[in-house]
Chains A and B, each alone.
Chain A
Amino acid sequence: MDSEVLSAPYVLEYTYTRSTGPVIGRFLTGLRDGRIGGARTGGGRVIVPPLEYDPDSGEAIGDFVEVGQEGVVTTWAREPGQQLAWALVRLDGADTAMLHLVDGMVAKGSRVRARWRAERTGSIRDIECFEVIA
């Protein structure tokens, strides 16, 4: 009798629709308008993307603030053969770095600027990537 152990492909797929909540919703709505928003905590730090609560104190965040469209790469990684690198970008006016794609010869400390898509829907992908400017 055949005793070979069987195996087969198995795809697990969930077509989630998620509610954004007020803070991420406002962030995404801003992206659709070509603006990048953050949250100012009670201690004065600006968190981008914004959170509903201060990760240090657990208190509700205070103001919703707009930050710059340029920033600094704090760290990055590139898959071999890929033009775009993954990078953490700390935008001007922000105290935290945001994960996104960077196009160009990226290095730690590179100045980058957001490249927007022409058609924006209210998604993190409304920023096509960041491009190195210096």
Chain B
Amino acid sequence: MSDESRPPITMIHTPVRLEYTVTAGRHLSAYLRGIAQKRIVGGRCPSCKKVYLPPRGACPTCGVPAVEETQVADVGTITTFCVIRIPFDAAPFPPPYIAVAILLDGADMPIFHLLRGAEEARMGMRVRAVWVSDEELAPTLASIRWFEPTGEPDAAYDTIASHL
């Protein structure tokens, strides 16, 4: 017998869950191990001299091995950002919060992280890593809690223009 008291089905929940084991590879492993020691290590291309972060062992532009490890700073410049206003299950904080792309000093690729301690983000804003305590350090980017403003004047657009 039809149940007219309930509305017809128009939406269904179809969750998908995949459980992987991710293998980092040699160069990403070195990067993660460095982070456990509060060192951020990139890979320099011998041809174009760009420093890739995280290091992948090869330069995607030149197609040559890029195995030279080079340490970059835990201070850098915001190249772009996004204010998250929509809550979702895996959100690190209640919205609003700010996700940022940061060009660390000495690197040619921005990394993605969170910005705290600032009312707003700006392209060019100078930020520094806020690390977890030494006891909590582990080979994961979560060893950096978030980034916070250094208080320096914003970097000139020219310094990030070729990294956007």
> With an 8 A cutoff between CB atoms, is B8 at the interface?
yes
Binds B, one of A17-25, A49-57, A88-96, A100-108: A17-25
User: CA of A14 to CA of B3 in the docked complex: distance in angstroms?
Assistant: 31
Q: Is the CB of B16 within 8 A of A16?
A: yes
Interface hits, A13-55 → B, CB 8 Å: 13-20, 25-26, 28-29, 32-35
Interface hits, B8-61 → A, CB 8 Å: 8-26, 28-29, 32-33
> With an 8 A cutoff between CB atoms, is B133 at the interface?
no
Minimum C-beta distance from B148 to chain A (A)? 27
Q: Which residue of B lies closest to A12 (CB)?
A: B18
> With an 8 A cutoff between CB atoms, is B2 at the interface?
yes
Q: Is the CB of B17 within 8 A of A13?
A: yes
Q: Which residue of A lies closest to B6 (CB)?
A: A32
Interface range, B side: 20 to 34
User: CA of A33 to CA of B139 in the docked complex: distance in angstroms?
Assistant: 54
Q: Is the CB of B21 within 8 A of A32?
A: no
Find chain B residues with CB under 8 A from A33 CB.
1-3
Per-position binary interface string of chain B over residues 74-89, scored 1 when its CB falls under 8 Å from any chain A CB and 0 otherwise: 0000000000000001
> With an 8 A cutoff between CB atoms, is A118 at the interface?
no
Minimum C-beta distance from B156 to chain A (A)? 38
Find chain A residues with CB under 8 A from B24 CB.
5-8
User: CA of A29 to CA of B18 in the docked complex: distance in angstroms?
Assistant: 29
Find chain B residues with CB under 8 A from A25 CB.
8-10
Q: Which residue of B lies closest to A27 (CB)?
A: B9
Q: Is the CB of B16 within 8 A of A29?
A: no
Find chain B residues with CB under 8 A from A11 CB.
17-20
Minimum C-beta distance from B64 to chain A (A)? 22
User: CA of A14 to CA of B17 in the docked complex: distance in angstroms?
Assistant: 7
Q: Is the CB of B11 within 8 A of A12?
A: no
Find chain B residues with CB under 8 A from A19 CB.
10-11
Minimum C-beta distance from B55 to chain A (A)? 13
Q: Which residue of B lies closest to A21 (CB)?
A: B10
Q: Is the CB of A5 within 8 A of B26?
A: yes
Q: Which 5 A-B pairs have the closest CB atoms?
A: A122-B9, A28-B9, A6-B29, A10-B22, A7-B23
Given contacts A6-B23, A11-B17, could you give 6 more A-B pairs where the C-beta distance is less than 8 Å? A5-B24, A8-B21, A14-B16, A15-B13, A20-B12, A35-B2
